[in-house]
Amino acid sequence: MTNHTRMTDSKQFATFFLNGLFFGVEVFKVQEVIRYQEMTRVPLAPRMIEGLINLRGQIVTAIDLRRRLEMPPRAAGELPMNVVVRSDDGVVSLLVDEIGDVVEVEDDIYERPPETLNGVARELIRGVYKLKERLLLILDTEKTVGLQASAAQPQKAGN
Amino acid sequence: MDEIVKEFLIESYENLDCLNRDLVALEKDPHAKETLASIFRTIHTIKGGSGFLGFGKLEAVAHVGENLLSKLRDGIITINPELASALLATVDAVRFMLGQIEITGQPGNRDFSSLIELLARLNDAKSTEAGSIPSPAPSQAVAVTATISPDQAPAVVTASPVTLPPTMKLPAAIVEPMARPAATVSVPLPPGAPASSSPPESAPTVHEPTESRASAVTDSTIRVDVALLDKLMTLVGELVLARNQVLQFTTQRVDSAFLATSQRLNLITTELQGSIMKTRMQPIGNVWGRLPRVVRDLATACGKQVRIEMEGKETELDKTIIEAIKDPLTHIVRNSVDHGIETPDVRSARGKPEEGCLKMRAYHEGGQVNIEINDDGGGIDCERVKQKALQGGLITREQASRMSDHEASRLIFLPGFSTAEKVTNISGRGVGMDVVKTNIDKIGGTVDLQSQPGKGTTLKIKIPLTLAIIPALIVTSGGDRFAIPQISLMELVRLEGEQARQQIEFIHGAAVYRLRGQLLPLAYLNRELNINGKSESELAMVSIVVLQADGHPFGLVVDEINDTEEIVVKPLSKQLKSVASFAGATIMGDGRVALILDVLGLAQRARVVTEARDRTLLENAAQARKTNDARQTLLLFDAGQGSRMAIPLSMVARLEVFPRSSVEYSGTQEVVRYRGQILPLIHVSKYVPAVGVSETSYDEEQSMQVVVVYAEQGRSVGLVVESIHDIVDETITVQRHARANGIFGSAVIQDRVTDLLDVQTIIRAADPSFYCGVSTTQLAA
Instruction: Enter the ipTM.
Output: 0.82
Contact B573 A92 (CB under 8 A): yes
Can you tell me the distance from the alpha carbon of B411 to that of B386, in angstroms, rounded to the nearest whole number?
8
Contact B585 A59 (CB under 8 A): yes
User: Letter for the amino acid at A24?
Assistant: G
Q: Decide if pLDDT at B283 tops 80.
A: yes
Q: How far is A12 from chain B (nearest CA, A)?
A: 28
Can you tell me the distance from the alpha carbon of B369 to that of B467, in angstroms, rounded to the nearest whole number?
12
Residues in Cβ contact with B460 at an 8 Å cutoff, skipping those fewer than 6 apart = B370, B371, B372, B447, B448, B449, B450
For B649-740, strand residue ranges (E) read: 652-659, 664-666, 669-674, 677-683, 704-712, 715-721, 723-731
Among residues B32, B8, B6, B7, which one has the least CA distance to residue B21? B32
Q: How far is B547 from chain A (nearest CA, A)?
A: 20
Q: How far is B139 from chain A (nearest CA, A)?
A: 49
Is the CB of residue B589 less than 8 Å from the CB of residue B574? no
Closest-CA residue of B relative to A155 is B530
- Residue-wise pLDDT tens digits, B687-740: 776 555 444 444 444 567 788 888 776 678 888 888 877 777 677 777 766 556
For an interface test with B, give the residue of A48, A50, A52, A84 to mutate (most B CBs within 10 A): A52
Percent helix / strand / coil, chain A, rounded to 5: 15, 45, 40
Confidence of residue B155 (pLDDT cuts 50, 70, 90): very low
Confidence of residue B375 (pLDDT cuts 50, 70, 90): confident
B363-377, B635-649, B701-715: range with lowest mean pLDDT:
B701-715
Can you tell me the distance from the alpha carbon of B514 to that of B502, in angstroms, rounded to the nearest whole number?
11
Confidence of residue B219 (pLDDT cuts 50, 70, 90): low
Contact A46 B578 (CB under 8 A): yes
Confidence of residue B780 (pLDDT cuts 50, 70, 90): very low
* Per-residue pLDDT, A63: 93
Across the range B376-394, mean pLDDT stands at 78
SS3 A47: coil
Is the CB of residue B526 less than 8 Å from the CB of residue B587? no
More confident residue, B103 or A21: A21
Is some CB atom of chain A closer than 8 A to the CB atom of B578?
yes
Q: What is the CA radius of gyration of chain A?
A: 16
Chain A CB contacts of B573 under 8 Å are 59-61, 89-90, 92
Q: Within its chain, how far is the Cα of B407 from the centroid?
A: 25
Q: Decide if pLDDT at B547 tops 80.
A: yes
Is some CB atom of chain A closer than 8 A to the CB atom of B592?
yes
Can you tell me the distance from the alpha carbon of B534 to that of A7, in angstroms, rounded to the nearest whole number?
61
Q: Which H, E and C letters describe B126-182, residue by residue?
A: HHCCHHHCCCHHHHHHHHHHCCCCHHHHHHHHHHHHHHCCCCCCCCHHHHHHHHCCH
Closest-CA residue of A relative to B571 is A59
Can you tell me the distance from the alpha carbon of B62 to that of B93, in angstroms, rounded to the nearest whole number?
9
* Per-residue pLDDT, B157: 38
Closest-CA residue of B relative to A147 is B575
- Residue-wise pLDDT tens digits, B423-461: 333 333 344 677 788 788 777 777 888 888 888 888 888
Residues in Cβ contact with B423 at an 8 Å cutoff, skipping those fewer than 6 apart = none
Contact A54 B587 (CB under 8 A): yes
* Per-residue pLDDT, B483: 93
Write out residues 232-251 of B within 8 Å (CB-CB) of A: 238, 241
A90-104, B175-189, B360-374, B574-588: range with lowest mean pLDDT:
B175-189
Among residues B60, B46, B56, which one has the least CA distance to residue B8? B46
Q: How far is B532 from chain A (nearest CA, A)?
A: 6
Q: How far is B584 from chain A (nearest CA, A)?
A: 10
Can you tell me the distance from the alpha carbon of B49 to that of B515, in angstroms, rounded to the nearest whole number?
65
Average pLDDT of the residues of chain B: 72
Across the range B564-568, mean pLDDT stands at 82
* Per-residue pLDDT, B421: 41
Is the CB of residue B454 less than 8 Å from the CB of residue B350? yes
Q: Within its chain, how far is the Cα of B296 from the centroid?
A: 23
Across the range B87-113, mean pLDDT stands at 80
Q: Using CB atoms, which residue from B570, B575, B593 is nearest to A46?
A: B575
Can you tell me the distance from the alpha carbon of B531 to that of B191, in angstroms, rounded to the nearest whole number?
88
A153-157, B292-296, B692-696, B709-713: range with lowest mean pLDDT:
A153-157
pTM given for the model: 0.49
Can you tell me the distance from the alpha carbon of B368 to that of B465, in angstroms, rounded to the nearest whole number?
5
- Residue-wise pLDDT tens digits, B576-593: 877 778 888 888 877 789
* Per-residue pLDDT, B734: 73
Chain B CB contacts of A53 under 8 Å are 593
H helix count then E strand count, chain A:
3, 11
Q: Within its chain, how far is the Cα of B210 from the centroid?
A: 44
* Per-residue pLDDT, B23: 77
Among residues B226, B193, B191, which one has the least CA distance to residue B323? B226
Range from A95-104, B118-127, B464-473 that averages highest in pLDDT:
A95-104
For an interface test with A, give the residue of B231, B477, B575 to mutate (most A CBs within 10 A): B575
For an interface test with B, give the residue of A34, A42, A64, A92 to mutate (most B CBs within 10 A): A42
Q: Decide if pLDDT at B602 tops 90.
A: no
A28 DSSP 8-state letter: G
Q: Which run of H or of E encompasses B47?
A: helix B33-53
Range from B128-132, B676-680, B717-721 that averages highest in pLDDT:
B717-721
Across the range B482-486, mean pLDDT stands at 90
User: Letter for the amino acid at B277?
Assistant: M
Chain A CB contacts of B585 under 8 Å are 40, 52, 59
Q: Decide if pLDDT at A15 tops 90.
A: yes
More confident residue, B432 or B375: B375
Chain A CB contacts of B530 under 8 Å are 43-44, 155-159
Is some CB atom of chain A closer than 8 A to the CB atom of B532?
yes
Q: Using CB atoms, which residue from B241, B532, B576 is nearest to A158?
A: B532
Q: Which H, E and C letters describe B416-436, residue by residue?
A: HHHHHHHHHCCCCCCCCHHHH
B56-60, B422-426, B711-715, B761-765: range with lowest mean pLDDT:
B422-426
Across the range B131-156, mean pLDDT stands at 40
* Per-residue pLDDT, B367: 63
Q: Torsion over CA of A33, A39, A42 and A45, rounded to 10 degrees?
A: 30
Residues in Cβ contact with B298 at an 8 Å cutoff, skipping those fewer than 6 apart = B306, B334, B337, B338
Q: Decide if pLDDT at B656 tops 60.
A: yes
B27-41, B68-82, B485-499, B618-632: range with lowest mean pLDDT:
B618-632
CA angle B319, B412, B363 (to 5 degrees): 35
Taking CA atoms, B374 is separated from B332, B449, B574, B619, in Å, by 10, 10, 38, 30
| pLDDT-above-90 percentage for chain B | 2
Can you tell me the distance from the alpha carbon of B557 to that of B565, in angstroms, rounded to the nearest whole number?
20
Q: Decide if pLDDT at B543 tops 60.
A: yes
More confident residue, A40 or B62: A40
- Residue-wise pLDDT tens digits, B303-335: 888 888 888 888 888 888 888 888 888 888 888
Is the CB of residue B641 less than 8 Å from the CB of residue B684? no
Residues of A at the B interface, defined by Cβ within 8 angstroms: 38-46, 49, 51-54, 57-61, 63, 89-90, 92, 145, 147, 151, 155-159
* Per-residue pLDDT, A92: 93
Q: Decide if pLDDT at A2 tops 50.
A: no
Give A108: exposed, middle or buried? Use CB within 10 Å, 0-12, 13-18, 19+.
exposed
Contact A145 B575 (CB under 8 A): yes
Can you tell me the distance from the alpha carbon of B591 to that of B242, in angstroms, rounded to the nearest whole number?
9
CA angle B185, B189, B193 (to 5 degrees): 140
- Residue-wise pLDDT tens digits, B569-578: 887 888 887 7
Chain B CB contacts of A57 under 8 Å are 238, 241, 587
Q: What is the CA radius of gyration of chain B?
A: 36
Can you tell me the distance from the alpha carbon of B572 to that of B593, in angstroms, rounded to the nearest whole number?
11
Range from B139-153, B238-252, B696-710 that averages highest in pLDDT:
B238-252
Q: Which H, E and C letters describe B463-507, residue by residue?
A: EECCCCEEEEEEEEECCEEEEEEHHHEEEEEEEEHHHHHHHEEEE
Q: How far is A158 from chain B (nearest CA, A)?
A: 6
More confident residue, A14 or B687: A14
A29-38, B619-628, B629-638, B652-661: range with lowest mean pLDDT:
B619-628
User: Letter for the amino acid at B288?
Assistant: W
* Per-residue pLDDT, A25: 93
Chain B CB contacts of A44 under 8 Å are 529-530, 579, 581
Chain B CB contacts of A45 under 8 Å are 575-576, 579
Q: Using CB atoms, which residue from A42, A89, A159 is nearest to B574?
A: A89
Give B614: exposed, middle or buried? Use CB within 10 Å, 0-12, 13-18, 19+.
middle
Chain A CB contacts of B595 under 8 Å are 40, 42-43, 52
CB atoms within 10 A of CB B206: 12
Range from A100-109, B616-625, B691-700 that averages highest in pLDDT:
A100-109
Q: Using CB atoms, which residue from A44, A89, A151 is nearest to B573?
A: A89
B105 DSSP 8-state letter: S
Range from B262-266, B513-517, B637-641 that averages highest in pLDDT:
B262-266
What are the start-end ranges of the H helices in B284-396? 285-288, 291-302, 319-335, 344-349, 382-391
- Residue-wise pLDDT tens digits, A31-69: 999 999 889 999 888 888 999 998 877 889 999 999 988
Chain A CB contacts of B574 under 8 Å are 89-90
